[in-house]
Amino acid sequence: MMHRRAFIERTALGLIGLGLTRCATHDVKPLQAGLSLPFLTPVDDYFVKNGAQGSIAGWHMPAPDATSWRLTVDGLVDSPLTLTLADLEAESAHAIEVLKTMQCVVDANAGQGLVGTAVWRGVPLRRFLERAGLQRGAARRLHVFGADGFRNNMPLDRIPDANAPAGLEERVEPLLVTHMNGAPLTREHGAPVRLLVSDGFGFASVKWIERITATDDDSAFGTYQDTGFTDDLTSPVFSRITSPTDNLSVPAGEATLLGFATSGRAGVEGVEVRVDGGPWQLARVVTPDEILAQHPELRSVEQFKAPERFPYPFRAVWALWAFTFDARPGRYRIEARATDRAGNTQPDRDLEISDGVNATAAIRLEVF
């Protein structure tokens, strides 16, 4: 087992020396006016981070194609299944489109741009578990395997029972996704099929998925868990200041700060900004109307279609925000923090990287 710190250091060396994960290809660009930061991240700009790359010797990126891809569903089920892409296409009438902000658990403190938002299209995993005869009375978790050797798990309480009321409050159920922003998944993003766990860190949404095993083992299981990371897949409340950047110099006068906030536990309730230790003040969160004006195609996604179930800001989808203040000459420390509707607020400090560092965001700003 690799120690968590060694894993992080090895990953960092891979990013700097090899450049294989394209971590710098998605930089969160600042808003210039209104909503110039796209609410949706283009696929070509979307970050690529592979969980097994820094922890499995000899790792290489799989390249399964549409004809060779198979997904085995076994373990504590009555009738094990082997699914093909045609089986997913046969369920296309039940496919849904959802918004999801994907965030890497190791990025929360590093600010490498390992975050982005896309529309994901897929079929609820529940349909295939029901077809296999999932033994809910015996099974506790699903063990999930990617073709690259990456492993993770999912507690059964994330899979809604067929006899329960539709869906979970503010939570999109796990999907087997085939499309991203209206186009088939690319190889880098897990083609032809990946898992999508809507409220979790990126490592929860296993790429190149090839096997799901229902088990009565209720212990932590997974590649990241083996290196010391959290077994709680849900991403905490989090915010970032995207403009200005740290240590930037700006002219005196009206200055506008911009950023985003997200939480996998509940939708964002609000974002507050503090200048030089002064009082916390509310930032303005971009409205649904502004988003739809820029992306009218989003009217078809589940969150916008069912506002009674998915109040805005959406759970696990970033909320863009802006804050304006009178900047006089001097040097300032500016902080931002978010609170979600479950009452979770970012802490002032959080040095525990294993659960995703989500401390209050801070930058230094020189005003001349």
DSSP 143-178: EEEETTS-EEEEEGGGS--TTSPSSBTTBPPPEEEE
Q: How far apart are CA 321 and CA 242, in angstroms?
A: 10
Query: 348 phi and psi, to 5 degrees?
Result: -65, -35
Number of domains into which the chain is organized: 2
Number of Cβ atoms within 10 Å of the Cβ of 348 = 10
> In terms of residue numbers, what domain contains 355?
238-367
Token digits of residue 141: 């978790």
| pLDDT score, position 317 | 96
> Considering 194, 226, 258, which residue would you say is the last residue of a domain?
226
Same domain, 249 and 100: no
| pLDDT score, position 164 | 63
Instruction: Classify 12 as helix, strand or coil.
Output: helix
Q: Which residues in the chain show pLDDT less than 50?
A: 1-35, 109-110
Same domain, 49 and 137: yes
| pLDDT score, position 168 | 55
Q: How far apart are CA 109 and CA 112, in angstroms?
A: 9
Q: Indicate whether this model's pTM tops 0.85.
A: yes
| pLDDT score, position 38 | 80
Q: How far apart are CA 292 and CA 298, in angstroms?
A: 7
| pLDDT score, position 107 | 62
- Residue 317's domain is classified under what CATH number? 2.60.40.650
Q: Taking the alpha carbons of 100, 105, 109, 115 in that order, is the dihedral positive or negative? A: negative
Same domain, 185 and 305: no
Query: How far, rounded to the nearest angstrom, does the alpha carbon of residue 91 sit from its chain's CA centroid?
Result: 25
C-alpha triplet 238, 244, 249: angle, nearest 5°: 145
| pLDDT score, position 27 | 41
Q: Write out the H or E segment, with its range, that includes residue 130.
A: helix 125-132
